[in-house]
Amino acid sequence: MATPRTLSRSLQKLRYPSFRSISQLGHPSFSTCSRIKSHSPLTCQPRVVAPLLRQFSTSPSHQHGHIHKPKEGEELYVTFIDKEEKEHKLAVAEGDNLLDIAQAHDLEMEGACGGSCACSTCHVIVLDEGFYEKMPEPEDDENDMLDLAFGLTETSRLGCQIVMTKELDGLRVKLPSMTRNLQASDFSSKS
Ligand code: FES
């Protein structure tokens, strides 16, 4: 099975094919290529390697965030209140987390670390303390990231760590007016 390292090497090979892989693809060998003296192998890349490049396609927004379609009669409801105070009540499936749900519905939740609990850009404020109490306690990682969140409140959580369960049916969360993306601010402070 391919490991992340071998996958990354394969990707690198596709981007920067070695001289050998170019000739294996049927490119004239370096001794017979009449243009070889005037340009590097990489300048041949568009002609020779193009068939190998992966095709990219766009997907409709409802496929973002990898959420599940709720089964009929088993829908759970969660309401997001956005920065403009607009309410978005959504029918969702058990097991999906708030980051994926928000992104699948094009709500403004950045999720800079992709849900690995390493940023605070999926910060949400749980509006009902009763629901907040029903959620499993945040782990240390989540608390560490929450400490960095802009506008932290007593009922703040990270959206990527909140998984919808039957107990959370009817949950209402507010998206904070701002989030802090430390990586982005690092870059801007250096420039
Ligand atoms: Fe980064 Fe949730 S997306 S912590």
Domain containing residue 173: CATH number: 3.10.20.30
Cα Rg for the chain, rounded, in angstroms? 24
Q: Which of 107, 110, 119 to mutate to test the pocket of ligand 1 (most atoms within 8 A of CB)?
A: 119
Q: Is the CB of 98 under 6 A from ligand 1?
A: no
- The range of the structural domain enclosing residue 161 comes to 76-180
Would you say residue 105 lies in a domain? yes
Same domain (yes/no): 106, 147: yes
Distance (angstroms) between ligand 1 centre and the Cα of 103 equals 12
Distance (angstroms) between ligand 1 centre and the Cα of 87 equals 22
Would you say residue 133 lies in a domain? yes
| Cα 85 from chain centre | 25
User: Which pLDDT tens digit goes with each residue over 173-183?
Assistant: 999 987 766 65
Q: Is the CB of 119 under 6 A from ligand 1?
A: yes
Would you say residue 160 lies in a domain? yes
**Domain tally, the chain:** 2
Phi and psi dihedrals of 149, rounded to 5? -70, 145
Angstrom CA distances, 40 to 13, 29, 91, 121, 141, stand at: 16, 13, 56, 44, 49
Taking the alpha carbons at both ends of the chain, their separation in whole angstroms is 41
Same domain (yes/no): 94, 171: yes
Would you say residue 71 lies in a domain? no
User: Which pLDDT tens digit goes with each residue over 82-138?
Assistant: 999 999 999 999 999 999 999 999 999 999 999 999 999 999 999 999 999 999 999
Whole-model pTM above 0.75? Answer: no
Q: Which comes out higher in pLDDT, residue 51 or 126?
A: 126
Same domain (yes/no): 83, 157: yes
Same domain (yes/no): 39, 87: no
**Which ligand 1 atom minimizes the distance to the CA of 115?**
3
* The Cα angle at residue 117 between residues 111 and 118, in degrees rounded to 5: 80
Q: Is the CB of 93 under 6 A from ligand 1?
A: no
Would you say residue 4 lies in a domain? no
Same domain (yes/no): 92, 158: yes
Would you say residue 85 lies in a domain? yes
Range name among 62-71, 105-114, 144-153, 158-167 with the lowest pLDDT average: 62-71
Would you say residue 96 lies in a domain? yes
Same domain (yes/no): 90, 144: yes
Distance (angstroms) between ligand 1 centre and the Cα of 159 equals 7
